[in-house]
């Protein structure tokens, strides 16, 4: 597999770069991100952290338009609509913060977390 490291600006569709977020949305995001970071506990389980991320996503953007929950063997998914019958738009895979051997790295994509996503 041939992989190429890209900076976020290069990897995003140009249309997204033209969107200017509202100050209120930025402040909400910052508030909830700070709250998320404060609650991280490396001795806690994968499930604990998955719930933190789900709450963060719901509180910052997705709750009004997207259903967020587990689906099948996927740790967490974001649906394209408000109910679980809509198609899945995003799949998230979680690992305990101390489980670094199974997480993706820029120089090593051949990891369990990546295999579970694919």
| pLDDT tens by residue, the chain, 118 residues | 577 778 888 888 888 888 898 999 999 999 999 999 999 998 898 899 999 999 999 999 888 899 999 999 888 999 999 999 999 999 988 887 787 777 777 777 788 777 776 6
- Is residue 17 in a domain? no
Q: Is residue 70 part of a domain?
A: yes
Q: Model pTM?
A: 0.76
**Contact present, 102 and 95 (Cβ < 8 Å):** yes
Phi, psi dihedral angles at 70 (to 5 degrees): -80, 160
DSSP annotation string for 86-115: SPEEEEE----TT-GGGS-BTTB--SHHHH
Q: What's the half-sphere exposure (Cβ side, CA atoms, 13 Å) at 93?
A: 13
Is 65 among the domain residues? yes
In a domain, 48, yes or no: yes
Is residue 86 situated within a structural domain?
Answer: yes
Give the structural domain span for 67.
22-93
Domain contains 60: yes
Instruction: Please report whether residue 99 resides in a domain.
Output: no
Indicate the number of domains in the chain: 1
Residue 67 lies in a domain: yes
């Amino acid at each position: 597999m041939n992989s190429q490291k890209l900076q976020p600006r290069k990897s995003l569709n140009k249309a997204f770069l033209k969107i200017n977020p509202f100050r209120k949305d930025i402040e909400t995001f910052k508030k909830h991100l700070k709250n998320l970071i404060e609650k991280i506990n490396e001795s806690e389980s994968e499930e604990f952290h998955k719930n933190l991320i789900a709450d963060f996503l719901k509180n910052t953007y997705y709750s009004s338009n997207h259903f967020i929950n587990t689906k099948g063997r996927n740790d967490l998914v974001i649906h394209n609509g408000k109910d679980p019958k809509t198609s899945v738009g995003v799949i998230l895979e979680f690992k305990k913060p101390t489980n670094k051997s199974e997480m993706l790295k820029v120089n090593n994509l051949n990891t369990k977390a990546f295999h579970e996503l694919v």
